[in-house]
Every structure is written in C-alpha cells, then in structure tokens.
Structure 1
Amino acid sequence: MEKCQAECDISPSLVERTKRWGKSITKTEVSEDKVVAGAGFNLSAYFVELLARMKSETTTRQEIREEIQPRVSELINLINDIIAEIELSRRQVLVIIDNLEKCDYEKALDLFYCHSTQLTQPLCKIIYTFPISLRSSNKFTQIKMNFSEDIIYPNIKVHEKDGNVKETNGRTFMKQIVAKRVSTDLFTPEALEYIIDMSGGVIREFIRIIRDSAVRAIARRKTLIDKDIAVEVINGLKNSYQAQLSDEDYEVLLNIYETKDIRRDEKLVGLLHNLSVLEYKNGRSWCDVNPIVRSILEEKNLLPEK
C-alpha cells in the first residue's frame, strides 16, 4: 500500500472516500495525524491501525464486523476504484492474502463457501491461501467453481508411500533448508535424520522442532543438537497431538495407516487440519499418519503387526 501511494497517483477524492469509509465502521477515534486526507494521509498506516485494533480489542472487533457486513459492497467498489487508479499507471495489481491456511476449518469453510462471491469481486488477480483440509470437504467442488484455479502444495515427501524407502530428494531439500538458515554442522547426523523423519515433511513443524531443540541445547550449554534432545522435543509434541484426538479419530487414523487413501470424509478433514494426517503427492495424491501421531499409535499398541 505504501509503495502504491508513493508510485501511483491516488486522487485526493479517493483518499477521502477511503477515510470516510474507515471512520464510519470504527467505534473509536483514529488519531488526527493519520486521517487527514491528501498528501499527508497514509492509507497503509490507517488500515494497519484499524487491523491492530480488530486483533487486540474483542469488543471493537465485534462492533467492526457488525458494521462491515452490510457495507461489503461499498468496500468492494472502493477497492475496485483504487485498483482502477493504480492500473492507469499501466501496472497490473496482484493481491496475496496469506495466512488464511491457519484459519479454523469452520471459519475457512464459511469464508470460501459462503462468501466466495465477495472474494472474487475485486477486479484484479488475487491469490488466497486456504487450509488443505478444505480440499477434503464435500463442499470443495462448489468452492472451486467460484475460483479460476486451485493449486495444492503437498508436504515434502521424506519417505515413499509404502513407508519403507526413504525419499532422497525430499530429505535433501529439508537439509538444504537447515543449511540456508543455520548449519547442518549444529546437529549430529542421527539427530537431523530423526528430526526430518518426525517432521513428516511439514516445513512449519520441521522449523518448530529445530527451534525447540536449539533452545534446549543452548539451555544445557551444548554445542550440538543430539538425538536425545530431539526426542525430548518430539515427546512434548506427542502430548499436544494426543490431547486433540478422540476415540473415533483413532479408527480413522488406523484406516489411513493401512490404505493411504484420501477421501471426502468430515472426520478426515479435521485430522488434516490439525496435521494428524498429512497429504503427499506421487502421481496421485495420498495421505499418511503424521509420524508423531504414528508413534502414539505404536505406544498404544494399535498398529497391526507386520
């Protein structure tokens, strides 16, 4: 937004409309130095302050939602007018809405299923991230009809579908992530391989395990992250995963362990969303039990004997 204002000529009348719309849906005063229209008015700072209050003040957040809902069409028209002014400078607009993949499943379903029309009304290219669990919803076919394309980025394969053969390319990629952020020399080889295994190829989990392992190593004044430290971190994560599993979930997990099949199943949707089940791609998409959750199944003696 700041770059847009700096490099594109946004008319004072449009800035004034933006200010009026924003003030009309807030219940608290915005400091005057940030709402003066014209050259001194910073659109980016204005909306950042509005969003900050929505995140931190529960009452304000609810009031703002109630005010915005009947005025969404007005907001979309305002957005499209801003887009039109930007494109007068012969620049195309690309909007990326990130972090929606972290939304609760129900909120994501409400957003993409019930409000897809509003999401696609801005007259520019938009990329929305969404939870991978949404793909297994029985409403996903209808959701896709409202968007031009859906692209799934599966987790990094660190083993093949049969679970026995380690997938070399994926594991090499995970090690490259470590090498670029820190150094593989900070891990014993056994510890790094174990962390890769237990991450299941989920980058976010991989980074979290490394971070927590590093904190423990520093606290103990160790120069290397060894497997014992990594195991302690994984044991802590086991408790978190186990707390979110029901008896019915264990039945679904056992079925996934044996079949590796992705199907339209609301029970599976929840397990994909909380990362108890992970999706991969090898030609056709398939899924498997998160290695951390699989270790829980092993401890409970729920897995069939090989």
Structure 2
Amino acid sequence: MNEERLKQLQQAYQDLDLFPLIEPENIEKFRVEYGRPVLVRLKREIEASTSDGKVIFAGHRGCGKSTLLKRLSVEMADKYFSIFFSISDLIEMSDVSHVNILYAIGLMLLSRASKLRIPIADSIKRSLLDWMNTTETEAVEQETTAETGLGGVDIFKFISLKLQREQKFRKELERTYEKKLSELVRNLDLLAATIQNATKRPVLVIIDDLDKLDLNIIEPIYRNNLKALFSPGFKIVFTIPIAAIQEPRVMGALNSEGIVRPHLFPVTKFYSNQDCRSPNAQPIEKNIKLFERVLEKRFPPGLLSPEIAKKTILMSGGVIRELVRIGRECCTECMVQLEIDSDCDDIKINDEILSTALRNLRNDFARQVGSRQLYEMLAEVYKTLKPAEGEGFIKLLHGLMVLEYENDALWYDVHPIVIELLRREELIES
C-alpha cells in the first residue's frame, strides 16, 4: 500500500471537517472570503438596534452560518462584550427549550465573567448555580473531580456536562425555572449590567445551532415562547432553520415581537433559474471559483483534478457542507480502494470514485424521502421551481432535499444528488 497516499487521504478527510471554522488556527488555514455582505448587514443591524435588540439569522443547514457567526463575534468584540456559543455544546439537542436556552445564556455570561475576574454579586451566582438540591450538588462535584482528575471543581463545565448527558438534570432545571422565569431573566439582566459596567461594553450574545434542531422542537420555542425568549434586556442573535420561517405561525410570532424579517444566508447559485434546466448553460464562474478555493485548501495537489473538482462543486447545490460531505465520501472510497486493490497505489479521485460517493449520499437521501408522496412533491418542485403545497415540503427543505435560492424572487430546486432519485422513480425524464 502507498503509505504516503494514505496519509494524504487521511489528512484531507480530517481537513474536510463537517464542523464550522471556530478555532483560530482552522480559520487561518481554511477560511475563504464568503458571505461578507451578509456579515456586514448583521453588524449594521446589531449596531443600529436598541439596547435589547434581537436578531434572527436563518439559512439552510451547512450553508456557512456558524463560521460567519464566529467571525461576527470576533469583529464585534471591540465594541461589545461578545459571547458566541453553540447550544449543542451545552444541551442535548433533543431536549432544548426556551427555559434552558435562557439558562445557557446566563451560564455562559457568568463563566466568561468569572474567567475575566469580573466581580459578580453572590445573589446572581446563587440564582444560576445553587438551584440544585444538596445531594445533586455533591454528586456533581464528585463526578467532576473524577473526570477532570483535579482537586477543584469547574462548576460551569460540570453543569454543561449534566445538561448534555442527563435528562433528569434537565427536567429538574425546567421545574426549577419554569415558574420563576421572570426571576431568571431579571438576574440575566443584572448580570449583563454588571459586565457592561465593568468592561464599558454592552453585552452581545450569539447563539449558534438552534437552526439544527428538529422542527417539532423549534416551532414551539419560536411560536409559543418567543416573548420569554426575547425578554432579556440585551442584544441576542438567534439562529433558526430556513424551513421554520416557511411556517406562517412562526413568522407571525416573530413579526409580533418586532422582527420584520429574519436575516438570510442564501445558498450559492451556480445557475440562474432561467438556465438551470438548460443542458448548454454555463455555471456562474465567480461562484465556482469560490468553491474551488474551499477544495484547494483541503486537498493536496494531484488528488483532485480540476474537472472532477467542478463536478463535485456542481453536485453540492451551492451548500458548503454538502461540498465537504461529497469530498469526505470521496476520500473514504479512495482509502477503501487503496486497501483492497494492490494495483491502485497512486489512486486519485476520478469519475468512478465520485460516482460511488454520490451513490452513497444519494441512498442517504432516499432513506429520508421514503414515501411516494414526497417523491411526487420533489418532482413538482423540479418541474416548477416553486414550493410544493403541504407540510411535507417543510421536511424536504429542512432535510436539504430542496434548496432555496434568491434572485429578484425566491425560487426552489431539488438537490442535485436527489434529482437522480426522481429519474429512477420515473417522475422526470432521464
């Protein structure tokens, strides 16, 4: 086996990480200039909003929101006490609620203030840290000490672990705060005011990954409990799935709280809606170049030819995460072939490898679509470039099987990988 090639493939696989660019070294190594106009709009709205302004940021999963929001946090740090965190790092995603979102905000603010040695009133600390009964607190301390191997207890880390791992702990938190939510919010405001007085900068909280919640979780949060979620008196940026803003009741709730429209991170277009079905259409060159730079930063020279790179890009549908997924799948197939075929020491990503990778991902989509009704809905979108009627459309949009694009008007298309499924179902012409 060509060990050098294997190392290259393993490194490329690692570099094609599905997680956003958060750490400074990864930002420096992999970042391309992407979504700057969206970033500037977010900055300007935050700066122009009132002291308790709330911003909603929407987009398809994997379009680059997380990386952009981290950049936003860094660029706003001169003017704001800026906190960026992912809700998935604190709370089990299947059990997120408006109550534990508000608690997570307080926990993150208190943790950062403690690290910076900002004096915080004991009453505020107790309100966030001493709600557990004595037995629970002792168990927390014992488990934390055992895991960290340290004599001291990092209570913030430990509560985070509990929130992630233990449903019982989350239920206890819900029972504790659901009847005194106004008290929790009041302490959040006191905490933010203390931080602002100490740092001379207003507080800005940016919460990532709420857009990755299942729709049956996200809708009650943004529809039934939005007033509570928006009640803290400082600036907060929330994320929301693009599928959720298709729901009139969610948008009605947002409008009632002063959100005229969410900020949107659009999917990158490779064709206009007039050209997307033309076999002779030429893709938008500047957008192809942008995605080429993403691949160039992650693949060593010679592993991916320009022709295969372009095919990979077009099959991503303009979603960065999908580009990365295809690239990763190609690396996996190459590593498999390197192991089982002694004649392919100098293996590269070719048409056969790409086809196999696309087949694997296509089968993943097929498992999500499932019913004939959803296949027919996809075929309708493909033929009309318009949203289909029915609740199933929201599922297709949330699952990236349908992608939303912007021109002067919105238009929709089926994910390029999914189109082959429609051909196989004989719902569109081959």
Alpha-carbon contact 1:175-1:184 (below 8 Å) kept:
no
For 1:230, give the aligned amino acid: L
Deviates more, 1:146-155 or 1:97-106: 146-155
Identity %, equivalent residues: 27
Shift in alpha-carbon separation, 1:282–1:12, aligned structure 2, 3 A: same
The alignment status of 1:73 with 2:190, answered yes or no, reads no
Amino acid at match of 1:157: K
Does the 8 A contact of 1:105 with 1:134 survive in 2? yes
Which residue of the partner structure matches residue 225 of structure 1?
349
2:320 is the counterpart of 1:203: yes
1:158 is aligned to 2:270: yes
1:290 correspondence with 2:290: no
Q: Which has the higher contact order (CA 8 A, sep 6+)?
A: 2
Q: 1:87 deviation in Å?
A: 0.9
Residue aligned with 2:412, SS: strand
CA distance in structure 1 between the partners assigned to 2:271 and 2:245 by the alignment: 23
Q: Are residues 77 and 237 of structure 1, via their aligned partners in 2, closer, same or farther at CA, if it must alter by over 3 Å?
A: same
Counterpart CA distance in 1 for 2:250 and 2:120 is: 40
**Residue 406 of structure 2 aligns with which residue?**
281
AA in 2 matched with 1:128: F
| CA deviation after TM superposition for structure 1 residue 115, in Å | 1.2
Look up the match of 1:99: 209
Q: Partners of 2:265 and 2:112 in 1: how far apart?
A: 29
Equivalent-residue separation in structure 2 for 1:109 and 1:285 (angstroms): 23
* TM-align CA RMSD: 2.8
Aligned residue in 2 for 1:236: 360
Give the whole-Å Cα distance in 2 for the aligned partners of 1:66 and 1:234.
Answer: 47
Work out whether 1:83 is the aligned partner of 2:192.
Answer: yes
Equivalence for 1:171: 288
Q: Which runs of 4+ in 1 moved over 6 A?
A: 32-35
- In 2, the alpha carbon distance for the partners of 1:26 and 1:266 equals 46
Distance 2:229 2:155 in 1: 22
Size of the aligned set, in residue pairs, is 298
94 and 264 in structure 1: CA distance in 2 versus 1, 3 angstrom threshold: farther
Could you tell me how far apart the structure 2 residues matched to 1:288 and 1:278 are? Answer: 5
Distance 1:184 1:248, change over 3 A: farther
Structure 2 SS opposite 1:10: coil
| Contact 1:138–1:265 (8 Å) recurs in 2 | no
Q: What is the rounded CA distance, in whole Å, between the counterparts of 1:137 and 1:263 in structure 2?
A: 13
CA-to-aligned-CA distance 1:83-106 (integer Å, 9 cap, x gap): 010110311111111011111011
Deviation at 1:264, TM superposition (A): 7.0
Structure 1 residues 91 and 53: CA distance shift in structure 2, 3 A: same
Among 228, 235, 238, the residue aligned to 1:118: 228
Task: Tell which deviates more after alignment, 69-78 or 233-242.
Answer: 69-78
Q: How big is the shift at 1:79?
A: 1.3
The aligned counterpart of 1:256 is 381
- Structure 1 residue 75: Cα displacement: 2.0
Q: 1:184 to 1:116 in 2, by over 3 A?
A: farther
TM-score by length of 2: 0.63
Q: Which digits, 9 at most, give the CA deviation of each residue in 1:47-84, with x for residues without a partner?
A: 43223222222343344334443233222222111101
Which deviates more from structure 2 when the two are superposed, residues 287-296 or residues 140-149? Answer: 140-149
Query: Is 1:15 aligned to residue 132 of structure 2?
Result: no
Confirm or deny: 8 A CA contact 1:262 1:285 kept in the other structure: no
Distance (whole Å) between structure 1 residues aligned to residue 142 and residue 406 of structure 2: 53
- Cα distance in structure 1, aligned partners of 2:379 and 2:297: 37
**Distance change (3 Å), C-alpha of 1:263 and 1:301:** closer
- Cα deviation for residue 185 of structure 1 reads 4.0
Cα–Cα, structure 1 residues 262 and 184, in superposed 2: closer, same or farther, change >3 Å?
Answer: farther
Q: Secondary structure at the match of 1:159?
A: coil
2:239 aligned with 1:129, yes or no? yes
